[in-house]
Structure 1
């Protein structure tokens, strides 16, 4: 059943003029509904179904008397959906930020606490690297003296030097990761502070 736009308008105007009859009809429509959508020419059509080609454009569900029951919005395109998801994710992140901190000063305090742990760890690793470096210098000096005296360097000494160098390499790798972590922490808290100031400033 396809109802022309003019008939649709008359149907709706009649329902507005007869509120008592509408109330009675609404109680008795037994689940029967009509659908209002726009065709390819932008003309509103009232029908008992929505052709599949128009579903993505959105439609309205009405009782036979014209009372609006539901509005089905147009489907979002892929880019529109991604943008909506991005906005929703940002809104949730903002809510979490406001729950976690009461001010920009709170954010800076949290930054300092988190960085202090990382920086302490880096200081220990730098100290250990320095100590190992001195041990390597001593062992290499001993090996050089042995060679100058025309003797063969003991395999155990060479292995000890190799082990110390490997230990230094491991520590340098760990230190590099910690330094990157410190940069990441600073970047994270820079963004948090800027976003917090932006939110409360709006």
Structure 2
């Protein structure tokens, strides 16, 4: 008897829940626009109308939810482009933070950047001087081979083929070495610009000012005229 009573109670609760759910569903209204743009209020929502956006109302007319229209292909593409731009910006900022951390691990003061640049330029200029010395030596070898060729001509002999080939090879060496020197000299300007940017960034991050000038730059105390007494 007790089991039967409990079963009847459970069935009653279930029936009450189903009745309440049905009542809520029956009391839901949808407001949307038909294909002609006319407002429609209905207990049902056509599939094509849902794509245009709609509102869910209570029986008293209160809006409980607004569903926006489905995005067009152009709007969806624009939204994806905006999201990609946001992701790219976040990645850019993350890379900048990582670069800043590495920069501060290397340089604690902007003057440290200037000192590092001075050492770098000294190495680059030493390499240029070395290559320029190589060019001088190669030119000397060319003159020697040309002298051998001239001696052969004066003696009425044919210039040895190996002499001609060697002169051509040495001239090619000069062209390649001079091209390397030109690239190295061009790299000096870009290196100075890179280190100047690093010095400026370290100034911003540490809030410390440079006291050492960059190579070719006026000392900080002499920029902007004489300091007031």
Q: Aligned-pair distance for 1:192?
A: 0.3
The yes-or-no answer on 1:101 pairing with 2:107 is yes
Question: Which of the numbers 151, 158, 164 marks the counterpart of 2:164?
Answer: 158
Q: Aligned-pair distance for 1:167?
A: 2.2
The TM-score with structure 2 as length reference comes to: 0.50
Identify the residue that residue 196 of structure 2 maps to in structure 1.
190
Q: How does 1:119-198 map to 2 (within 5 A)?
A: 119-148=125-154, 150-198=156-204
CA distance in 2, matches of 1:175, 1:184: 15
Q: Aligned-pair distance for 1:149?
A: 5.2
Question: Which of the numbers 77, 89, 99 marks the counterpart of 2:83?
Answer: 77
CA distance in 2, matches of 1:40, 1:93: 49
| Equivalent pair of 2:108/2:206 in contact (CA under 8 Å) | no
Q: Which runs of 5+ in 1 are unaligned?
A: 2-38, 54-74
Q: Which runs of 5+ in 2 are unaligned?
A: 1-20, 22-52, 56-62, 71-79, 209-229
Q: Deviations over 1:69-101 (max 9, x none)?
A: xxxxxx961212212221221122122212211
What SS does the aligned partner of 1:153 have?
coil
Q: Aligned-pair distance for 1:201?
A: 3.3
Quote the RMSD (CA, aligned, Å): 3.6
Larger radius of gyration: 2
Q: Aligned-pair distance for 1:150?
A: 4.0
Question: Runs of at least 4 residues of structure 1 off by over 6 A?
Answer: none
Q: Deviations over 1:118-177 (max 9, x none)?
A: 221111110110121132133224424543554321212212212211222332233234
Q: How does 1:56-67 map to 2 (within 5 A)?
A: none
